[in-house]
Structure 1
């Protein structure tokens, strides 16, 4: 056997071990980091969407027009829908990014995402699915230790 084929076999045996080590390392990514990235990134998406609905400090005529013509939600007046969406797309992302009432905020925005998916853009399910995963990480696992929710919970745990 030549030296080159021996080295190839040694390298091949080491590959599964190296891969296993990398996978083990990836398994140690802390939930706190994952939750923080989820909160900030999905919060920014909805905040920016809310910003497009404003003209200064009021809901723009264009936003109302979109709810009348393109979005056309059932059971709700377009003027009211535009105002509720603009409010929700500012309040819940701000709370989410701060990590305050995080699970509630993620649940509210997940509900909004479902409405968008079902009634407005049903073909955009890959994007909405990505958003839903961010929300589910927060709903199921909590906002992580880098959040106001964590500090409140810690405070009440000490006083109990």
Structure 2
């Protein structure tokens, strides 16, 4: 009888230990997952953005050429040129640098993720065959960041803490 009772107590302690480990893992993942998502989404866009510049504030002629000649929109079975390709090239090139930087530091995270989600949608219209390998994971990461936010390891979180601390009626 005593042995069965000791066995039951041992199993309960083992269960408590496992539960504590799982709670710690969840806490750690909750802190780290948004940061990893932000970096994973930022890297391909930032790397693409770097190829579109010849120097500081000097857009590469190749970037404009891509939007004038190479990139075409595939919509409803037709193939169409980009409207205002020089403006689109500039907008895209700036967004591919600025939005990933904002994501990595966690500033305006949801808006940055939304911008990259919209860009992913446009890229899908340009390269329809890339959906399964590239566009779907990018879209999933962007939607996840929009849903869960920047996480604790972000400037957005830090700004929120400071704002709550320094506003009248905030907890100090």
Fold in common (TM above 0.5):
yes
Counterpart contact for 1:107–1:135, Cα < 8 Å: yes
Counterpart contact for 2:72–2:82, Cα < 8 Å: no
27-36 or 93-102, larger mean C-alpha shift: 27-36
C-alpha distance after superposition, 1:15-36 (max 9, x if no partner): xxxxxx7xx9497262221110
Matches within 5 A, 1:39-54: 39-54=38-53
- Residue 144 (structure 2) aligns with: 137
Matched, 1:149 2:149: no
- Residue 128 (structure 2) aligns with: 122
Q: What is the RMSD computed on CA atoms of the aligned residues?
A: 1.9
CA distance in 2, matches of 1:59, 1:137: 32
Q: Which runs of 4+ in 1 moved over 4 A?
A: 24-27
TM-score (norm: length of structure 1): 0.78
Match among 70, 74, 77 for residue 84 of structure 2: 77
- Residue 64 (structure 1) aligns with: 64
Q: Which runs of 5+ in 2 are unaligned?
A: 1-17, 74-80
Match among 76, 93, 96 for residue 89 of structure 1: 96
CA distance in 1, matches of 2:141, 2:106: 14
69-78 or 133-142, larger mean C-alpha shift: 69-78
- Residue 10 (structure 2) aligns with: none
Using the TM superposition, give the Cα deviation of residue 97 of structure 1 relative to its aligned residue in structure 2, in angstroms: 0.5
Counterpart contact for 2:49–2:96, Cα < 8 Å: yes
CA distance in 1, matches of 2:69, 2:22: 50
Counterpart contact for 2:67–2:82, Cα < 8 Å: no
Using the TM superposition, give the Cα deviation of residue 75 of structure 1 relative to its aligned residue in structure 2, in angstroms: 5.6
